C-alpha cells in the first residue's frame, strides 16, 4: 500500500512540475512565446516600418541656427520629441515657441504648446507666457549641414523659406 501512495504522489508531483515550471520561468523573464504565437511574432518582425520617421531615427535632431547682424533664430529639435524655436533681437527681445515634433522625409509637424516673450524696455524685463494649441506643417530640405524650412504658418519674425546651419 505504501508503494501505491508513493507512486501516485510522485506522478502528481511530476504533473504539477510539468505544468508549473513553464509558468514560473515566464514570471522570471524567460518569456518564450507559445508555439502557436511564434507565427504571429514572425509576421510582426517582417513588416516594414511605417512613416512618420521617429525623432530618434531622424537626422534633423539637434540645434539649427541662423544669425544675422541684429537677430538670431535657433531651432532645437530634441531627440526626445520636444522642439523649441527661439527668436532673439539683439539684447532687447526674445520669443520662444515650444512644443513637440514629428517628421516625415519632407515635412516637420510642430505642435506648438506655448509661446514666451521676454522684452527689455527701459532697463526692466517683462515676461509674458501664453498657452497655444497650434500645428505648424513645415516643409524642409536637408543638405548636409544646411536645413531649409518653408512654411506659411511660421511667425513673421522667423520668416518663410529660411536656411539654417547646424550648430555644433
Which pLDDT tens digit goes with each residue over 107-165?
Answer: 999 999 999 999 887 778 899 999 999 999 999 999 988 999 998 888 888 877 788 88
Q: Are strands 62-67 and 93-103 parallel, antiparallel or unpaired?
A: unpaired
Give the CA angle between residues 115, 118, 124 to the nearest 5°. 155
According to the 3-state scheme, what is the secondary structure of 46-93? HCCCCCCECCCCCCCCEEEEEECCCEEEEEEECCCCEEEEEEEECCCE
Q: What are phi and psi of 18, to 5 degrees?
A: -60, -40
The pLDDT tens digits of the residues spanning 16-63 come to 445 544 444 444 444 444 444 444 444 444 433 334 444 455 688 899
This prediction's pTM: 0.63
Query: Can you say whether residue 50 is alpha, beta or left, with left for phi > 0 and alpha for psi between -120 and 50 degrees?
Result: beta
Quote the cell numbers at residue 91. 539684447
Amino acid at each position: 500500500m505504501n508503494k501505491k501512495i508513493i507512486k501516485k504522489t510522485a506522478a502528481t508531483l511530476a504533473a504539477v512540475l510539468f505544468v508549473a515550471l513553464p509558468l514560473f520561468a515566464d514570471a522570471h523573464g524567460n518569456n518564450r512565446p507559445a508555439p502557436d504565437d511564434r507565427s504571429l511574432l514572425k509576421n510582426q518582425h517582417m513588416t516594414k516600418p511605417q512613416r512618420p520617421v521617429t525623432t530618434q531615427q531622424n537626422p534633423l535632431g539637434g540645434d539649427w541656427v541662423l544669425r544675422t547682424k541684429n537677430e538670431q533664430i535657433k531651432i532645437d529639435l530634441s531627440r526626445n520629441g520636444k522642439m523649441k524655436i527661439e527668436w532673439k533681437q539683439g539684447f532687447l527681445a526674445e520669443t520662444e515657441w515650444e512644443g513637440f515634433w514629428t517628421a516625415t522625409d519632407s515635412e516637420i509637424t510642430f505642435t506648438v504648446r506655448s509661446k514666451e516673450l521676454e522684452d527689455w524696455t527701459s532697463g526692466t524685463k517683462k515676461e509674458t507666457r501664453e498657452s497655444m494649441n497650434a500645428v505648424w506643417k513645415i516643409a524642409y530640405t536637408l543638405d548636409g549641414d544646411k536645413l531649409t524650412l518653408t512654411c506659411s504658418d511660421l511667425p513673421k519674425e522667423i520668416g518663410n523659406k529660411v536656411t539654417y546651419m547646424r550648430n555644433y
